[in-house]
């Protein structure tokens, strides 16, 4: 867990330094319109946090995976109780 926290802090630091996101960017919460237990937060123009809160893996949106709290399936799905950071 400590390794994941350190990795998240490093990614966040890089995103701020590169001005991909700023502390002032608004956050738009997107519910699970598909009913699959997915919750996403869009920050700025290009950053998305996806949380898989249901019982089945959820589809990840388009983008480059920066960090995940667990392995993503071969089909590119996020398993239950897992979070992922993506950059569009």
How many CA atoms lie less than 13 Å away from 21 in the CB half-sphere? Answer: 21
For position 57, which CATH number holds? 2.60.40.1180
pLDDT value at position 31?
A: 81
pLDDT at 45: 86
Query: Tokens at residue 42, please?
Result: 């869009």
Report the number of distinct structural domains present in the chain.
1
Looking at residue 33, its pLDDT comes to 64
**Torsion angle (degrees, nearest 10) of CA 13, 14, 15, 18:** 120
Per-residue pLDDT of the chain (88 residues; tens, 9 = 90+): 889 999 999 999 999 999 999 989 999 998 866 788 899 999 988 999 999 999 999 999 999 999 999 999 999 999 999 999 999 9
The answer to whether the beta carbons of residues 40 and 53 sit under 8 Å apart is no
Length of the chain in residues, anyone? 88
Domain residues for the domain of 54 are 2-87
């Amino acid at each position: 867990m400590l390794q994941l926290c350190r990795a998240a802090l490093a990614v966040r630091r890089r995103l701020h330094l590169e001005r991909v996101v700023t502390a002032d960017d608004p956050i738009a919460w997107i519910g699970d319109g598909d009913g699959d237990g997915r919750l996403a937060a869009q920050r700025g123009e290009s950053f998305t946090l996806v949380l898989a809160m249901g019982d089945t893996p959820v589809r990840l949106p388009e983008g480059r995976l920066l960090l995940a709290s667990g392995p993503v399936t071969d089909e590119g799905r996020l398993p239950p109780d897992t979070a992922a950071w993506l950059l569009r």
